[in-house]
Structure 1
Amino acid sequence: MQPAASSAYSASSASTERSATAPRRTATLALAIAIPLLFAACGKRETPPGAQPGAEAAPGTPAANVAWQPYTPVLQHVYLAYFGRPADPAGLEHWGRQLAAAAAATEPAALASQYRDNPGVRAMLDAFANSTEARETSGSTREFVAGLYRNLFQREADPAGLDYWVQALDKGVISRSDAALAIMLGAQHKDPGTLASKVAVATRFTAMLAARPDGATLYRGEADNRLGRAMMAKVDGATDPAAFDTEMRATITQMEQAQ
């Protein structure tokens, strides 16, 4: 049985965390402000995350695969943060090859720093920020921030942290995209372990689908996205990705049945 989602911190723990992490939150907000308009909304793109690649170099060749595959972890981070689900195989390859062509960094923090000066990085991040799925899975400011903590760390945001980010967003100090990146990069305590488990499971799931002849078309549409989100909601820092294969196969079976 997989571990259940972590519960919110107790009142006493929240109080301790407020005093211990306030400087870290201030530093994290400074990071968000220092990278202006990261993930900024610059207009809706015609090719949303997960879409089939367009007129590009033929996929599947050894050289192409070697070029884009190092971007798998950073793209899984982005899919998890914005959508709470693993990348679909077609979307992963499409955006991986775009980042490779742009000579983008393969780590989240380094990729973020390239936003303003690298058109390929900017195009990819803008596409996620402006996608229909991102808009439909976010809601109010409070729901958006709470969702980020669940998507990335599988826990409820502590009250002080939740209020901190909601106020910063509502006052227009930062954008939602700035907050998403800052929260992801500011992971602390048990959060980095949980995020690492989620990225490992998401990577394993996408690879499992990609190995199937129908993998490019099986995982597509909102019904499949919901199944992916439900699966990832069962992953926390104690999850063994290799032992999670049964759950992944069950999710794939549900996707088959939904066709």
Structure 2
Amino acid sequence: MTTVSDIKNLYLSGFNHIDALIDEGPDWNYLGTYKPYLTYTFSITSGNEEGERGQSAFSPAQQASARTALAYLSTVTGVRFQETTIGSSAQIHLALVDIENDDFVGLTSWHTLYTPPLTTLPRAQVTDYTASAYVYLDNLEYRTSTADLTPGGQGYQVLLHELGHMMGLAHPFEGTHQLPYEDDYTANTLMSYDHLDDKFYSTYSEYDIAAFNWIYGGDGLRGRYGVGGSMDYLTGRSMDETITGTAGSERVDGAGGDDSIDGKAGFDEAGYSGARANYDITKVNGAYIVTDRVGDEGRDVLTNIETLVFAGSSVSLAYESVVQALYVGYFGRAADYNGMQSFQQQLSALGAPEDLRGLSEAYGKNAGLRALVDSFASSAESAALYPGNTGTFIKALYQNVFGRAPDAGGLTFWSNAIDSGGLSRANASLSIMAGALDNKTSQGVLDAKLVTNKLTAASGFTLMIDTAQEIGGYSGAAAAGAVRNMLGAVTAATDLQAYQATIAATLKGMTPGGTRPADAPGAPADELPITHAELIGIGYQPWEQTLV
């Protein structure tokens, strides 16, 4: 659905290095979904721009270079381009012409047409929107430069500049939003006229990529990302910076440097250019930290981000804290890789609350959620850990959560609640953990700090698992016991940054060969099927039918 507001209103990101390059047209995203590509032509026999005369056709060599440029542009934007020899059928026209302004090597113009709706309401729908663009290179004063469009030369950079206009980019020195003078040069954007070096560029610069991401999202016309999609796409710069999202959903790429990224509300993603195995993911002070081990994307601190997107794979952070609380509270250990993914998917399918207190309250109202949480108590691992009576079980839970025995009142209360049938064992674990985080007494504050540290260490351990060898290594009683011991050593005063070395050593000690992905090759865990690891008998569960 295209509206007058879509066509006329300039949709800005709020980031100057992007907004300085956003022009008012052509709005290719609003052409509709019936044809998910743009057509281009080198023909000058029909479809020429009205009022323009004297066009000459690109030579075969120029056409070949233009095809190269459009293929590259497709990799940047996700937009597909299809050539036609029928000029009147094309949306994009490339030709040579004597440009009247003696200072112009190239020139791009576009036209957008639609029938105004009968109503003046801003959301009135437009059903016949069309757009066309005309890309011209000078064939008189600058014919020496434009005759050779081979990548690496001036002509090719001029062509990329004009194709940038064709795709909706503006000069950064014109209009309401402009780049600061010190940022306005071609190493930042090919839409600039100024150079700090003598080189000619064969690829777009980082501000251009950021603007293209904002408009097209890297996934083409009317894809998931970008203008007209379901998620905005914010791209930072190759420097240390703070990027803050909005109440909506967006993807954020830091694009280099050490960044602080806050997605705020909505469903938000953080994007990275490399494979999952190239990054370390940890959790400290409630924030996820993603560190690039092999490239220049730095160390990012993420809050309110639900998904990490890597090249060819992704890592879900939704429900991550809740799942760790269930594992730590009931089993005293961090979640295994496949168990984490299974529970994340099931909790999402059930529409479960994403906080521990909300989950505890929803337990009694949602039969599916109740069955999922109770699966902990019905597992073989539970039988192996808690063979005694209810009092023994409560003491074990307190040891898992607080590292100490329960007080007499707490032991009596929870034991009676379970033995009377008013509370299941699994829900008791959930309630004790949730209560610990809400307790405001002096002891409660200490307990909450300890619980938070344990959950953070558990998150760091599971997030560190990213190879098939590490998934297989975290299997069996010995491995589970090692992780329990690792978490058992965490106190309210533990320096979690320093403790990352202990977490890594624990994982390394149970991994065949004892290597981390930086030291040896291995398939990234994200690319593996979800087949729940046999940890102390935690194997196939009835609720995992579609996941195993």
TM-score in same-fold range (> 0.5): yes
State the match for 1:248 in structure 2: 503
| 1:130-175 Cα shifts (integer Å, max 9, x gaps) | 1111222122222211111111122221233223323443444533
Matched, 1:155 2:408: no
8 Å CA contact 1:64–1:97 kept in 2: the answer is no
Count of aligned pairs: 198
Distance (Å, rounded) in 2 between the aligned partners of 1:127 and 1:173: 17
Using the TM superposition, name which of 243-252 and 164-173 deviates more. Answer: 164-173
Whole-angstrom distance in 2 between the partners of 1:103 and 1:76: 18
Q: Which residue does 1:96 correspond to in 2?
A: 344
Q: Superposition pairs for residues 46-125 of structure 1, below 5 Å?
A: 65=314, 68-118=316-366, 120-125=368-373
The one of 164, 170, 173 aligned to 2:413: 164
**Matched-pair contact (CA < 8 Å) for 2:360–2:434:** no
Q: Cα distance, 1:106 vs. partner?
A: 0.8
More RCO (CA 8 Å, sep 6+): 1
Q: For 1:147 and 1:255, how far apart are their aligned partners in 2?
A: 25
The one-letter amino acid of 2:506's match is T
Q: Does the CA contact (< 8 Å) of 1:89 and 1:215 recur in 2?
A: no
Greater mean deviation of Cα atoms: 192-201 or 214-223: 214-223
Distance in 2 of aligned mates of 1:153 and 1:250? 23
Give 1:193's aligned residue: 449
Point out where structure 1 has 5 or more consecutive residues left out of the alignment. Answer: 1-59
Paired with 1:225 and 1:151, the residues of 2 have a C-alpha distance of 13
Report the equivalent of 1:39: none
Would you say the 8 A contact 1:98–1:120 is kept in 2? no
Q: Which letter maps to 1:225? A: A
More strand by share: 2
Q: Is the Cα–Cα contact under 8 Å of residues 99 and 120 in structure 1 kept in the other structure?
A: no
Q: Distance in 1 between matches of 2:326 and 2:457?
A: 14
**Distance change in 2, residues 1:166/1:99 (3 Å):** closer
Matched-pair identity in %: 35
Q: What whole-Å deviation, never above 9, does each CA across 1:59-115 have from its counterpart, x for those lacking one?
A: x9879946x421100000000111000001111011112212222211112123333
TM-score normalised according to structure 1 size: 0.67
Asked whether the equivalents of residues 374 and 426 of structure 2 are also in contact (C-alpha less than 8 Å), the reply is: no
Secondary structure of 1:70's partner?
A: coil
Q: Which amino acid aligns with 1:128?
A: F
Matched, 1:234 2:489: yes
Q: 1:255 to 1:117 in 2, by over 3 A?
A: same
**Counterpart Cα distance in 2 of 1:224 and 1:208:** 15
After TM superposition, the score normalised by the length of structure 2 is 0.33
* 1:96–1:174 CA distance, 2 compared to 1 (3 A): closer
- Structure having the higher helix fraction is 1
Contact 2:473/2:512 (<8 A) preserved: no
Summarize the Cα distance change of 1:215–1:119 in structure 2 as closer, same or farther, 3 Å threshold.
farther
Matches of 2:322 and 2:412, distance apart in 1? 28
**Structure with greater Cα Rg:** 2
Q: Secondary structure at the match of 1:217?
A: helix
**CA distance in structure 2 between the partners assigned to 1:155 and 1:258 by the alignment:** 35
* Alpha-carbon contact 1:198-1:232 (below 8 Å) kept: yes
Whether the 8 Å CA contact 1:231–1:247 is kept in 2: the answer is: yes
Counterpart Cα distance in 1 of 2:347 and 2:330: 18
Q: Which residue of 1 aligns with 2:392?
A: 143
Q: 1:146 to 1:74 in 2, by over 3 A?
A: same
